[in-house]
Amino acid sequence: MEAWKKDYLDVLLVPFGLLFMFGYHLFLLYRYLKCPHTTDIGYENHNKRAWVARMLQVDIKERGPAVSVISSNISAATALTSISLVLSSLIGAWIGSTKMNLFTGGYIYGSISPSIVYIKYISLLSCFLVAFACFFQTTRHFVHASFLISMPNSDVPVSCVQREVIKGSNFWLIGIRSLYFATNLLLWVFGPIPMFICSVIMVGVLFNFDRNTTPLHQYKPIGRNELSNIDVKKAAAIKADENLLEAQTN
């Protein structure tokens, strides 16, 4: 009877833990679609759209900070892509090996049958592969946004750059959430009870992190006076370059 309880803990606690995580993320998606200002995701995307609109209104020579910001995001996404790929390779090699007795001892309070052990590792591998694909797509969209922002002498639509930045941010978010799920499944290796406890704690922590109580700031576009000041500075810089060239020629 005791062996039956231990074996079926995986059948009871693991699905409940995963449903708890999936249910929370469905609730978060519903809040983001219906009331985006109440979520931290909607708050960040609102600021990113305003940032892109502001950056595209300045001269091409003054967009260096924008390119630097996107480059830092590309570097972070590339690093997480490499980490996810390495972990996926290690787990795949571990599954392919015949020595998988490390986490099948009697101290694991749960099922230690070979089929359950393989399901644990395959589930963990799937999460890291999803994270790898999402971080790779993040890099692709941010690279495209960097090209659009740094394109000289071209009237690039603001919506095009905003779409690339928001898509890259969304793929980044999905990749991070996949790592959260991978953390839960990693604890499942030590038994279904740590996995279920981790699911409950993580949902509570994410609920506090994902909600937003700060009102959305209504950004104002660059006014005519600011645009005229930018044009004056641009004309002054061009005039200075012409005077310097003329002095060198003489």
Supply the range of the domain harboring residue 241.
Answer: 223-250
Contact 141, 168 (CB under 8 A): yes
Residues 164 and 244 in one domain: no
> Is the per-residue pLDDT at 31 higher than 90?
yes
What angle do helix axes 40-55 and 158-188 make, rounded to 10 degrees? 150
What angle do helix axes 2-34 and 158-188 make, rounded to 10 degrees? 170
Residues 27 and 93 in one domain: yes
- For residue 108, the 8-state DSSP code is S
In the chain, pLDDT over 90 holds for what percent of residues? 42
Residues 104 and 227 in one domain: no
Mean pLDDT along residues 96-123 = 70
Number of domains into which the chain is organized = 2
Residues 176 and 243 in one domain: no
Confidence of residue 115 (pLDDT cuts 50, 70, 90): confident
Residues 132 and 202 in one domain: yes
Residues 109 and 169 in one domain: yes
Residues 84 and 208 in one domain: yes
As a whole number, the mean pLDDT across the chain is 82
Residues 167 and 232 in one domain: no
**Contacts with 179 (C-beta within 8 Å, 6 or more apart), sequence order:** 84, 127, 128, 131
Mean pLDDT along residues 201-222 = 86
> Is the per-residue pLDDT at 104 higher than 70?
no
Mean pLDDT along residues 159-173 = 93
Mean pLDDT along residues 218-228 = 58
